[in-house]
Structure 1
Amino acid sequence: MSRKITDIRAREIVDCRGWPTVQADVYVDGVLAGRADVPAGRSTGLHEAFVLTDGDPKRYRGLGVRKAVANVEGEIRDALVGLDVSEQRKIDQTMVELDGTPNKKRLGANAILGVSLAVARAGAATAGMPLYRYLNPFGHVLPVPLMNFLNGGKLTANELEIQEFIIMPVGADSYAHALQMTTEINEQLRELVITKYGILATNTGDEGGFATPMKGIWEPFEFLQKATELAGYRVGFGEDVVYALDCASSHWHDKATGLYTLDGKSYERDGLIDLYKQVAAKYPLASIEDPLDEEDFEGFVKVTRELPQTQIVGDDLFVTNVERLRLGVGRGAANAMLFKVNQIGTLSQAFESAEFAYRHGYGVQVSERSGETEDGLISDLVVALNSGQIKTGMPIRGERTAKHNRLLQIEGELGATAQYAGHAFRRPR
């Protein structure tokens, strides 16, 4: 059977915010074999790969992606037609070299990534396999979902500086059970929010968490604790539920003064670390993403050392870039990386970063972006990586439920060989 790429097409579609993004199609032997959508972030790191937009203020306020689409159907298509679709790394490297810039600025990471992901899907289709099995025949771990119950920061319109207050159902016995637990807790949280703030406070942010008028760091945890208990679940290490944060602290850090402003109070780095320690002393804080500014490797070393029970995840710090990760590993900054394929722009480079993390004892937390589509591809990626943890939003809208439902499908396909990561999410067995 032929495995040669015969055509590549692309189009401008919209994500869950109504913003334009790229969808790419890869044809093998004249037949559409793979299609993929490119997600986009609102809360982005300085070192992420470049998203090419049109810049025309009369159309989508300059956010159109017709230039990226044209690059897919022009230079990228011309360079890849005739290549074997199974040679993922060669194809990705061809596109990186064709672009010729350090951050994919010329062709656009959104153009390159759409093709990279569609090629992987096409390779799986021609091999007659689901994507997770095509990428790793030993993939079998179903991840613990990090459920974003309360939204803040750039992902919603409220006064919470911290971007995500998260519940992790580590005590579930399957992914299906994890979804049940979190939905039951969320319904209790909804009633608590209505009682105190009214029905309008149950509007949601970009990733499905409630966009309430809560402030600071303590009040959200009080609500999570009460909702979990009302749902009948135990909170604590070794129990049903633990907590996590995505602080996205670069967005409330003043680079000129070096101060962090949280709930009207200013903190130096050490003071903020002390605050996290106080939270961890009261609540089972299993994971913190981006607790400090994205350039503060020294601070990440300190917070990793001073919170030994808590996973410290680098998102803006590492941006799924193996060179940034190498800097962190060399210093002992953080002990896990966030895995976002669009931060680096090709599937091969993203997997290279994950493999480097694993080799050095770092965890890998696969993540959505706030601007998602109905494409559930990252669900296949998290199982292929056996990473044990995924951030993909609350299961309340189609762009989020697509990921959860895909994981339920995979759990069913794996049957008795499936393993829910549970308490071992940092180092799945």
Structure 2
Amino acid sequence: MNGTTIKSIRAHQVYTNRGNPGVEAIVTTENGAVGRAMCTSGISVGTHEIKFQFDGGTKFRGKGVQCAADRINNEIAPKMIGVDAANQLEADRVMLSLAPNAKAVFGGNATAAVSAAILKAGAASLGIPLYRHVGGSNAMYLPVPGVAMVAGDERYGGGITTPGGKPTMSVMAFGFNTFSEASYACWDVHTRWAEKMKKKFGGLPNIRDFISVPTGIYNSDREIWEDMLATIREAGYDGKMGFQMDVATDTYHNKEDGKYYGLFDKNPKTKEQLYDFYMQIIKDYPFVIIEDPFNEDDYDTTAALTKECGIQIVGDDLFTTNPERVAYGVSKGAANTVLLKVNQVGTISEALQMIQYAYKFGYAVMPSDSRGEGESIADYAVGINAGSIRESAIGPRGNRFLEIEEELGSNAKFIGARGLKGFRNQMRADGKL
């Protein structure tokens, strides 16, 4: 029997750093290799994301996932024994063939956890790093990392739905020669920022390093950006670091009148006013990435901003790692980057297929670990040669990147701003901005 074939799969419910429980799958192969992967729900969830299975009821406020773990143990695991963990495409095909519309039947969280665990078990059974299993010998580029700075959705009245602390703001380190240099700069700026916020209002970083800014501290987010820019300059990194912002704009969008409420300041905004606002702040501050600048179905306005603004425009709720939504976005020219949440689409194979489609049409892919991918997001990022990644400069994710950089040695590549989309970012790479 092939040593890479699956010997057992088991699953259980686990605690996560996202607040809600997650489902963890553990795959063991015949040669003793083990792969573990966890999938959890995000803080802000797009309406077009694949549906997860939850227990409901009062325990864990309805977000328990024991039902998803039971589905894995009782329905998926017995039928995956003997499948080759080193053949990801075939393993995912078998799993999805177990039931009509399998992701809906088992839950996207169940299929995603099993698929990712199989990928890790496959790499371990072959005795190769996960990034090498994903990308082969071409896996060598380390992405521009960022560090969390600001969160909080109550500053100007809160959103229409549940913003989950958005907009979040981070600092991206693009003007350095190596990932390790960029990582240190992020640590330096974050440490200075934390000290500044503690003095200002007693603010402290949360478990994901963001500092939630409450109401009454700033009159508008422009004041926050002034403080962020001052912190970068105080650390000596002016021109080497810029802003990334995940707006999660759909949660501030009133679908009845089309306006956005409580976003960036107390003034309601039409989409035209919001568009002009973005164009102005991109000129006034070193924004390099904006994620989900308009509501999740506004492809046309997103396309117009992408063409004119010259920075990296990322689609998360816009695309939800969904090949069909990405294809529609490509046809419109909406955004220039797809946010990759490996656990968001349901299987590793589908995520990799989406990545290849995005690359084919000149889009970048920006990984994020907000669905429970953890430090493995570093391997995914290097495996697909991503040009940028959500946060990940410090902490366990940053440590894994540093380990990969050391493993790659002289083969490690860090191209900084050249790996970011948008003509303004390419001007930064050329030293002209």
Give the alignment's TM-score, normalised by structure 1: 0.90
| SS across alignment from 2:7 | strand
Helix, strand or coil at the partner of 1:265? coil
Q: Which residue of 1 aligns with 2:415?
A: 421
Separation in 1, partners of 2:292, 2:71: 34
Percent of pairs with identical residues: 33
| Alpha-carbon distance in structure 2 between the residues aligned to 1:366 and 1:53 | 25
Indicate if the aligned counterparts of 2:85 and 2:118 stay in contact, CA closer than 8 A. Answer: yes
Task: Describe the superposition over 1:292-334 as per-residue Cα deviations: whole angstroms up to 9, x where unpaired.
Answer: 0001111111211221x21111100000011000000011111
List 4+ stretches of structure 1 deviating above 4 A.
157-162
Q: What letter corresponds to residue 227 of structure 2 in structure 1?
A: F
Q: 1:288 aligned to 2:287?
A: no
Secondary structure of the residue aligned to 2:407 is helix
Provide the residue aligned with 2:405 in structure 1: 411
The verdict on how the C-alpha distance between 1:31 and 1:47 changes in structure 2, with shifts beyond 3 A counting, is same
Q: How does 1:376-415 map to 2 (within 5 A)?
A: 376-392=375-391, 395=394, 401-415=395-409
Structure 1: gaps of 5 or more residues: 396-400
Letter in 2 for 1:43: S
Match of 1:398 in 2: none
Report the counterpart of residue 36 of structure 1 in structure 2.
37
Distance across 2 between alignment mates of 1:252 and 1:385? 33
Write the letter of the residue equivalent to 2:25: A
Gaps of 5+ in 2: 160-165
Residues 215/359 of structure 1: CA separation in 2 closer, same or farther (3 Å cut) = farther
Q: Secondary structure at the match of 1:55?
A: coil
Q: Call closer, same or farther: CA 1:388–1:99 in 2, change over 3 Å.
A: farther
**Residue pair 1:14, 1:21 contacting (<8 A) in 2 also:** yes
Q: Offset at 1:151?
A: 1.2
**What CA RMSD, in Å, does the superposition of the two structures yield over aligned residues?**
2.0
Distance 2:79 2:31 in 1: 17
Aligned to 1:278: 280
The letter of the residue matching 1:411 is E
CA separation in 1, counterparts of 2:57 and 2:356?
39
- 2:20, 2:63 within 8 Å by CA — same for their partners in 1? yes
Contact 1:99 1:105 in 2 (8 A): no
Q: How do 1:10-49 residues align onto structure 2 when only pairs under 5 Å count?
A: 10-29=11-30, 31-49=32-50
Alpha-carbon spacing, 1:415–1:346, altered in 2? closer, same or farther (3 Å): same
* CA drift at 1:384: 0.2
Q: Deviations over 1:35-90 (max 9, x none)?
A: 11214301111111111111131x22222211111111121112211111112112
Contact 2:33 2:125 in 1 (8 A): no
1:188 is matched with 192
Q: Partner of 1:343: helix, strand, or coil?
A: coil
In 2, the alpha carbon distance for the partners of 1:34 and 1:44 equals 27
**Alignment map for 1:296-315 (pairs within 5 Å):** 296-307=298-309, 309-315=310-316
Q: 1:118 to 1:300 in 2, by over 3 A?
A: same
Please give the alpha-carbon distance, in whole angstroms, between the structure 1 residues aligned to 2:55 and 2:78.
22
Native 8 Å contact 1:7 1:30 kept in 2:
no
1: CA distance, partners of 2:32 / 2:277: 57
Alpha-carbon separation, structure 2, partners of 1:306 and 1:224:
25
Alpha-carbon separation, structure 1, partners of 2:189 and 2:319: 32
Task: Deviation per CA, 1:355-379: give whole Å up to 9, x if none.
Answer: 111100011111121x647x41111
Change (3 A) 1:316 1:414: same
User: Contact 2:171/2:243 (CA < 8 Å) preserved in 1?
Assistant: yes
CA distance in 2, matches of 1:4, 1:301: 45
1:364 and 2:368 correspond: no
Matched residues, number: 409
Q: Which amino acid in structure 2 is aligned with residue 122 of structure 1?
A: A
